[in-house]
Amino acid sequence: MSALATRLATAHDAAAVAMLFDAYRQFYGKAPDLALAREFIRDRIAMTESVVIVAENGQQGIVGFCQLYPTFCSVAAARICVLYDLFVKREARHAGAGRALMLAAEAHAAENGFVRMDLSTAKTNLEAQALYESLGWIRDEAFYVYSRAL
């Protein structure tokens, strides 16, 4: 694999990121829906509602992405950043793309005044957990996370 680089995605990257986003959603049990993925990613980038960072190399182009959402922590009374999506093509895994995306996300958040980053992952996603912990992320043992479909 040639040199890996990360950068902020632009509207021109939406189609390539959407293909990865569709695969990411499938990883979490959703049916394939490339049209939905394209629309979702295109809208997030166009409306600047999220930050999408891509990892690319010269041979394969964009091989991974992460998506960050700005929000707030009331307790800290400060802006925080949620790393909501992280995905690397299967054939590009174990070459540093996930680590590079995580580091780029942390740098982006720090440079933009966020005081903390949060993320969640499936309990069964041991490979991702190992990556996060190797970068100093600490698993929360104090809070439960709840959700409710509306």
Q: What is the pLDDT of residue 59?
A: 82
Residue 58 has pLDDT above 90, yes or no: no
Q: What is the pLDDT of residue 3?
A: 86
pLDDT tens sequence across 7-45 = 999 999 999 999 999 999 999 999 999 999 999 999 999
Give the pLDDT band (50/70/90) at residue 2.
low
Q: What is the pLDDT of residue 1?
A: 47
Asked if the structure places residue 148 within a domain, the reply is no
Domain assignment present for residue 76? The answer is: yes
pLDDT of residue 139: 95
pLDDT tens-place string over residues 86-107: 999 998 899 999 999 999 999 9
Residue 43 CB contacts under 8 Å (≥ 6 apart), including other chains: 49
pLDDT bin (cut points 50, 70, 90) of residue 60 is confident
| Rounded percentage of the chain residues whose pLDDT exceeds 90 | 93
In a domain, 142, yes or no: no
Give the CATH number, domain containing residue 104. Answer: 3.40.630.30
Other residues' Cβ atoms within 10 Å of the Cβ of residue 150:
3
Cβ(136)–Cβ(100) below 8 Å: no
Overall number of domains in the chain = 1
Domain residue limits at 36: 4-134
Q: Is residue 143 part of a domain?
A: no
Q: Measured over all CA atoms, what is the biggest interatomic distance in the chain, rounded to whole angstroms? A: 45
For 118-128, the pLDDT digits (tens) are 999 999 999 99
- Cα 13 to Cα 19, 62, 81, 110: the distances in Å are 10, 9, 22, 24
Judge whether 145 lies within some domain.
no
Instruction: Kindly state whether residue 127 falls inside one of the protein's structural domains.
Output: yes
